[in-house]
Amino acid sequence: DAKTTQPPSMDCAEGRAANLPCNHSTISGNEYVYWYRQIHSQGPQYIIHGLKNNETNEMASLIITEDRKSSTLILPHATLRDTAVYYCIAFYNNNDMRFGAGTRLTVKP
Amino acid sequence: NAGVTQTPKFQVLKTGQSMTLQCAQDMNHEYMSWYRQDPGMGLRLIHYSVGAGITDQGEVPNGYNVSRSTTEDFPLRLLSAAPSQTSVYFCASTPGGENEQFFGPGTRLTVL
């Protein structure tokens, strides 16, 4: 499975867009990019995933570069409740998701 | 649907004791997994199951056993608890394929 690298922490002003980067330079052609988040010590929550094309849902947008070596999760209007640890995961086997340390996003008023 | 449920929420054990963490899901998902999360770290896969009667090891399986006799339940057994097993344990389920995983609320285990 491809290893991902993310910045350990980021800040964002409330109401602004939060752009969380992820590097997955060793991703293979059949590996999806998934984003989950974990608020406090709760179970991780699915946000979005994609393979090649950009994706958007009610929570976020996912922008994947054409070479698929990196991606960006965009929270368009961050709120205080979006403060969490965000995990970027690249894998093809749903049986073996490997979580890194993630990015701790702090949304500030 | 209750989703993924885990019991207990908290547990304190003494070194050498054994216990079973319970996990159940009511979504008829084939795939179920157990993860542990140590402070400041991401989740690590312990064991997983692709269906009733089928289990396999993940990244950190030592000291843990699992079985899957029904689609709904996937218990995790600690054979002889050690302080290194102090962690938060999460159970997850998914229909498989590219579908998302659904996580339970976690069990916080302390081994003294």
Chunked in runs of 10, what are the mean pLDDT values of chain B (112 residues)? Answer: 94 97 96 93 92 93 96 97 97 89 96 97
Contact A53, A59 (CB under 8 A): no
Tokens at B2, concatenated: 């209750």
Question: Is B45's CB within 8 Å of A102's CB?
Answer: no
SS3 content of chain B, % helix, strand, coil (to 5): 5, 50, 45
Q: Is B77 in contact with B24 (CB distance < 8 Å)?
A: no
Residues 6 or more apart in contact with residue A83 via CB below 8 angstroms: A39, A105, A106, A107
With contact defined as beta carbons under 8 Å apart, do B101 and A99 qualify? no
- Write out chain A's pLDDT in tens, 109 residues: 568 999 999 999 999 999 999 998 888 888 899 999 999 889 999 999 999 889 999 999 999 999 999 999 999 999 999 999 999 998 766 566 778 889 999 999 9
**Chain A contact for B108 (CB, 8 A cutoff):** yes
Please, are residues B101 and A46 in contact by the beta-carbon 8 Å criterion?
yes
Residues on chain A touching B44 (C-beta within 8 angstroms): 99
Contact list, B33 vs chain A (CB under 8 Å): 95, 97
Q: Which two tokens stand for residue B72?
A: 């709904």
The pLDDT value recorded for residue A54 is: 93
Angstrom distance (rounded) from CA B34 to CA B101: 12
**What size, in residues, is chain A?**
109
Contact assignment for A96 to B105 by CB distance below 8 Å: no
Write down the pLDDT at residue A102. Answer: 93
Buried b / exposed e over A30-51, threshold 16 CB at 10 Å, is ebbbbbbbbeeeebbbbbbbbe
Give the pairing type, strands A9-13 and A103-108: parallel
